């Protein structure tokens, strides 16, 4: 019997490619189940336990016991289930959650000779059980090579992979025999696309309802990247012009006033579809233009980072200058990714806008401010500490809503003479923009 939802977990050694696989799997499934896929990960950042865990993993907190860490992970997981996983799966039909790490990782990393698998699972007994757990299996050599390519500081558990692999084997056997979990090992030595295709075959065999009616185009398996190189190729005004036509105002207003919101909702859906079809460079251009429309001055592309990152300035009352950055990263944002990139911004720590492409359901919106370290070029590259930038995520949905607001504003401005006799319609339109 088919289920209305599917809870998938992706596990693997550090460097196995599980995060890239999770992201691409979400993109592919979203192609067939638009807006019904949620990509998430653990530790789940928006909680005090999540922040504590991040500090431990980044070796900023060194005085802890395995039991304390296991309790932190279990608390974090229950919060994750209550706040995101369960509400999403039970919020409608045909919904899927893809989680990067879950309680299999806790068994591997938190158990010890005096803290058994049973003890770890006791802490996690209220966690929602996944439908399928995929373990991405690659050799130690491949894992080390991939971690080397990251060029990032190693986290706490990114060592002794041979020993960790043995722990995974024992933990998988425990979950299969004691907890009746369905765990599938997937060869992860191929490309991300090849690994995703293997996972999809298992999902389709598990339940045919998840198999797409139409073949998935191969481009969905190709990673998207930004390559603006300082150039912008599209503006908000360009998109507004695409949806502006002669007599548009009169056509919309000629319908019954009770239906005016429905007409603009339909227009909003058309704009959303147009933006979904754009390349990453077009989206990146709209992101920068959107920020400028909010009153921020967009400066030059920062030269020292391989990312598309731009200087920002904002003038507060009293001529107080704040500096920040606009960051474009070709993946749905995670706290740890942004934490690793923030030090590259040097002393520009006031604020940061991050563009997260893809469906808004795949985005984590909440980030705690923390301390971060950077090289102070003004003092012979001394290591300095500052408050982590105030971070705001911008999604495609934010840009779509802003385009629709801009279109309505243009209609009001270009038909000001009509509004003299029909101010009620103008009030309706302004009220509608406030709802966006």
Given a cut of 60, whether residue 66 has pLDDT beyond it is: yes
Rounded-to-integer distance, Cα 347 and Cα 378, Å: 10
Report d(CA 116, CA 107) in Å as an integer: 8
Predicted TM-score of the model (pTM): 0.62
Average pLDDT over residues 401-406: 89
What does the alpha-carbon distance between residue 108 and residue 177 come to, in Å, rounded to a whole number? 16
For range 25-31, the mean pLDDT: 84
Asked if 25 and 115 count as a contact pair (C-beta separation under 8 A), the reply is no
According to the per-residue pLDDT averaged within each range, which of 14-28, 371-385, 417-431 is highest? 14-28
Instruction: Among 86-90, 212-216, 334-338, name the one with the lowest average pLDDT.
Output: 334-338
In three-state secondary structure terms, 169 is: helix
Q: Which of 166, 180, 94 is nearest to 130 (CA)?
A: 180
Tell me what pLDDT residue 122 has. 95
Question: Whole-angstrom Cα distance, residue 46 to residue 40?
Answer: 12
**Where do runs of H (alpha helix) occur along 101-160?**
103-110, 117-123, 140-150
Q: 216 vs 31, which has greater pLDDT?
A: 31
Degrees to nearest 5, angle at CA 120 with 53 and 69:
20
At residue 125 the predicted structure's pLDDT band, cuts being 50, 70 and 90, is: very high
Give the pLDDT of residue 272. 87
Mean pLDDT throughout 169-197? 92
Provide the token pair at 295.
Answer: 């009153």
Q: Got the DSSP string for 326-343?
A: EEE-SS---HHHHHHHGG
Q: What is the mean pLDDT of residues 293-322?
A: 80
Q: Which residue has the higher pLDDT, 338 or 294?
A: 294
pLDDT at 410: 81
Beta bridge partners of 213: none
Mean pLDDT of 372-391: 59
pLDDT at 204 exceeding the cut of 80: yes
15-24, 156-165, 315-324: least confidently modelled range:
156-165
- Give the model confidence (pLDDT) of 286-302 as tens digits: 999 999 999 999 888 77
Q: In this predicted model, which residue has the larger pLDDT, 219 or 254?
A: 254
pLDDT for the residue 147: 54
Q: Residue 118, class by beta-carbon neighbours within 10 Å (0-12 exposed, 13-18 middle, 19+ buried)?
A: exposed
**What whole-number distance in Å separates Cα of residue 400 and Cα of residue 404?**
6
Amino acid 223: pLDDT: 44
Window from 158-162, 285-289, 297-301, 322-326 with minimum mean pLDDT: 158-162
- 1 or 236, which is more confident: 236
Most confident range, picked from 43-52, 236-245, 358-367: 236-245
Q: Is the pLDDT of residue 12 over 50?
A: yes
Kindly tell me if the per-residue pLDDT of 47 is higher than 90: no
Q: Are strands 5-12 and 132-137 parallel, antiparallel or unpaired?
A: parallel
Tell me: pLDDT of 221 over 50.
no
Residue 73 clears pLDDT 80, i.e. is over it: yes
State the average pLDDT over residues 381-410: 77
Question: Which pLDDT score, from 0 to 100, does residue 322 have?
Answer: 84
CB atoms within 10 A of CB 148: 11
Pairing status of strand 320-328 against strand 297-301: unpaired
* Confidence (pLDDT) at 149: 46
**325 or 308, higher pLDDT:** 325
Largest CA-CA distance found in the chain, in angstroms, rounded: 81
Say what the pLDDT of residue 317 is.
85
* Percent of the chain topping pLDDT 70: 67
The confidence score (pLDDT) of residue 42 equals 86
Predicted pLDDT at 350: 74
Least confident of 30-39, 84-93, 99-108, 344-353: 344-353
The arithmetic mean of pLDDT across residues 189-216, rounded, is: 86
Q: Is the model's pLDDT at 349 over the cut of 60? A: no
**Tokens encoding 29:** 């499934």
More confident residue, 267 or 116: 116
Of the listed ranges 141-150, 184-193, 326-335, the least confidently predicted one is 141-150
pLDDT value at residue 306: 55
User: How far is residue 51's CA from residue 368's CA, in Å, rounded to a whole number?
Assistant: 8
43-47, 149-153, 173-177: which is most confident: 173-177
At 432 the pLDDT is 60
Mean of per-residue pLDDT scores for the chain? 77
Contact 369, 387 (CB under 8 A): yes
Residue 220, pLDDT above cutoff 60: no
Q: How confident is the model at residue 178, as a pLDDT?
A: 92
């Amino acid at each position: 019997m088919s289920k209305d939802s599917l809870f998938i977990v992706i596990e693997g050694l550090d460097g196995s490619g599980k995060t890239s696989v999770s992201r691409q799997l979400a993109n592919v499934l979203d192609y067939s189940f638009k807006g019904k896929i949620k990509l998430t990960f653990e530790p789940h950042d928006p909680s005090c336990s999540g922040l504590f865990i991040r500090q431990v993993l980044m070796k900023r907190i060194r005085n802890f016991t395995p039991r304390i860490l296991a309790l932190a992970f279990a608390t974090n997981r229950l919060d994750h289930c209550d706040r995101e996983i369960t509400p999403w799966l039970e919020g409608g039909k045909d919904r899927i959650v893809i989680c990067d790490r879950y309680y299999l990782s806790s068994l591997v990393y938190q158990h010890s000779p005096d803290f058994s698998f049973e003890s770890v699972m006791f802490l996690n007994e209220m966690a929602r059980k996944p439908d399928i757990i995929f373990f991405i299996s690659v050799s130690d050599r491949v894992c080390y090579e991939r971690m080397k390519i990251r060029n990032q500081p190693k986290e706490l558990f990114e060592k002794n992979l041979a020993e960790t692999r043995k722990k995974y084997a024992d933990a998988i056997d425990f979950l299969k025999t004691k907890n009746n979990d369905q765990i599938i090992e997937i060869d992860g030595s191929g490309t991300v696309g090849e690994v995703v295709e293997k996972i999809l075959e298992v999902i389709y065999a598990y339940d045919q309802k998840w198999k797409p009616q139409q073949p998935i185009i191969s481009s969905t398996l190709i990673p998207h990247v930004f390559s603006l190189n300082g150039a912008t190729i599209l503006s908000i005004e360009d998109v507004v012009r695409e949806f502006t036509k002669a007599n548009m105002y009169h056509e919309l207003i000629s319908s019954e006033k009770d239906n005016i919101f429905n007409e603009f909702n339909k227009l909003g859906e058309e704009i959303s579809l147009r933006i979904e079809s754009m390349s990453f460079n077009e989206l990146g251009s709209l992101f920068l233009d959107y920020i400028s429309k909010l009153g921020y001055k967009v400066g030059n592309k920062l030269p020292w980072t391989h990312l598309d990152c731009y200087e920002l300035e904002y003038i507060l009352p009293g001529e107080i200058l704040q500096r920040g950055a606009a960051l474009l990263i070709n993946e749905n944002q995670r706290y740890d990714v942004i934490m690793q990139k923030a030090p590259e911004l040097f002393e520009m720590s006031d604020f940061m806008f991050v563009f997260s492409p893809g469906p808004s359901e795949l985005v984590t919106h909440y980030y705690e401010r923390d301390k971060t370290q950077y090289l102070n070029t003004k003092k012979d590259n001394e290591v300095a500490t500052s408050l982590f930038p105030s971070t705001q995520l911008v999604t495609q949905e934010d840009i779509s809503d802003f385009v629709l607001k801009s279109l309505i504003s243009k209609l009001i401005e270009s038909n000001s003479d009509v509004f003299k006799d029909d101010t009620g319609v103008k009030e309706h339109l302004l009220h509608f923009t406030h709802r966006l």
